Chain A
Amino acid sequence: MITKRIIPCLDVKNGRVVKGVNFEGLSDVSSPVELAKYYSDNGADELVFYDITASAEGRALFTDILCQVASTIFIPLTVGGGINTVDDFERVLNCGADKVSVNSGAIRNPKLVEEAARKYGDQCVVLSADIKRVDGEFKVFAKGGRENTGMEAISWIKRCVDMGAGEIVVNSIDTDGVKKGFDLEMLEAVCNAVNVPVIASGGAGCKEDFVTLFNTLDKVDAGLAASIFHFGEVEISDLKQTLAQNGIVTRLI
């Protein structure tokens, strides 16, 4: 049977891995290549790289680092951040990325999802959605969670899946950085609406949060986190043992 995936996420700015708490207050953590190798050796099933650089120089540096990572480790790589055109897909795919994650770029131009899916296949297009509750409704936020688009999140996700998004990263702004567990209510709403893999993001604080995630929501395929892995609070190999003890099947190495 297919195993549940554990995915560390690396936010990269100017060639270094950083992680914000609630998207603000970045702190330098480590080298992307070293961290990627460490995670790959210790059981990560996939890696996500978000390029949070704003400048052209930073983007070029990111692309260069991605090539280094992709020639060092041999597990699936997803790249996001600054993906606005099909050319941006091409740029990161040529550096060894397997999937490309779109967020603000898709909000600005939803056709991007359709065009990229047609050119590279649905499996290549990941929709990343930053979602926050506003007056009791799930709303899609853009620009790293700073701007409310006014769009209702579930219908936005369904629309993107219809256009060819092959996987959804659900990032709850409400639980991100709080470390009190994943946003089960939000994730359940997404899982019930689509039939493509759903990756939970935002809120993991300890191993038990992953156990609760997979035991509560069987339809969630993967759990994604950053700081708890980067700061060594949770070791992936250790997390997978705990999941196994709770009857959750993962890839053990």
Chain B
Amino acid sequence: MIAIVDYGVGNLFSLKSSFGSLGVDIVVSGNEEVIRSADKIILPGVGAFEDAAKKLRATGLDAVIKDEAAKGKPIMGICLGMQMLFDRSLEYGEHKGLGLIKGDVVPMEGVIPKELKIPHIGWNALCFNGKSSKLFKYINEGDCVYFVHSFYAANCDDAVIATAEYGKELTAAVEWGNVYGCQFHPEKSGKVGLAILKAFCELEDE
């Protein structure tokens, strides 16, 4: 069973439906025991980093996720959920993340060429840069996925398994041991996105 962590951030309808369409047993929950009993954990999130991090801490689930990650349980953060896996975010101030992956979340503004619009929104191609990941076993380099974000993960080169070109190579997906993250929305990325979720579901405990 896969637990989608419900901590009051974002809309979980599509994520739930996409796992449902794969025939995977899922539960959307903010309950510690339910999350601990799941085989795998999905950490979703949209909106502002500070607000989401506060809400996650308020539920006490941040400690649960860290604990389960340390036990080797596969965990995947999606969009803001991915950003929260890092040490810290510089989105309007400086905020602490879960620290499961070394790196910072930083603004695109001032880093990408001025003529490019922020947020980075739309379908963009994945570059693997010679890396391979079990997450991508059903997809190909160059496949497009759907992004919506204004901040991106930096200083995390060792964990990056895919980038997307938008004035510079932006972190698109990360893997660090049993901890995974997608900056894009697999649940909104058509067949390619579903194939990534399917691959995650098939991961074994480390």
Contact = CB atoms under 8 A, between A and B. Distances in A.
Given A1-B166, A166-B119, A94 B146 contact: no
A252 B122 CA distance: 14
A70 B13 contact: yes
A75 B146 contact: yes
B21 interface: yes
Contacts of A166: 119, 121
B137 interface: no
Contact of B17 (A40, A71, A251): A71
Contact of B189 (A74, A222, A252): A74
B17 A74 contact: yes
A197 B21 contact: no
A70 B17 contact: yes
A121 interface: yes
B20 interface: yes
Interface in B176-206: 187-191, 193-194
B188 A75 contact: yes
Contacts of A73: 190
B144 A251 contact: yes
29 contacts: A1-B125, A2-B120, A2-B121, A2-B124, A2-B166, A3-B122, A5-B122, A71-B20, A71-B21, A74-B14, A74-B17, A74-B21, A74-B187, A74-B190, A75-B189, A75-B190, A94-B13, A96-B13, A98-B14, A121-B46, A121-B47, A122-B119, A197-B117, A197-B121, A221-B122, A222-B122, A251-B144, A253-B190, A253-B191
B78 to A, nearest CB: 13
A163 interface: no
B8 to A, nearest CB: 13
Interface in B20-67: 20-21, 46-47
B69 interface: no
Nearest to B148: A123
Interface in A188-224: 195-197, 221-222
Given A2-B121, A74-B14, A76-B188, 13 more contacts: A1-B125, A3-B123, A74-B18, A74-B187, A75-B190, A94-B11, A95-B13, A96-B13, A123-B121, A167-B121, A252-B144, A253-B190, A253-B191
Counting from the closest, the 5 A-B pairs by CB-CB distance are A251-B144, A71-B17, A96-B13, A251-B123, A2-B122
Interface of B: 11, 13-14, 17-18, 20-21, 46-47, 117, 119-125, 144, 146, 148, 165-166, 187-191, 193-194
A130 interface: no
Q: Contact residue range for chain A?
A: 20 to 34
A36 interface: no
A11 interface: no
Nearest to B48: A121
A57 B124 CA distance: 39
A83 B185 CA distance: 25
A183 interface: no
B89 to A, nearest CB: 16
Contacts of A253: 190-191
A176 B121 CA distance: 26
Nearest to B16: A71
A142 interface: no
A178 to B, nearest CB: 28
Given A1-B165, A3-B123, A251-B144, A98 B17 contact: no
Contacts of A51: none
Contacts of B125: 1, 3
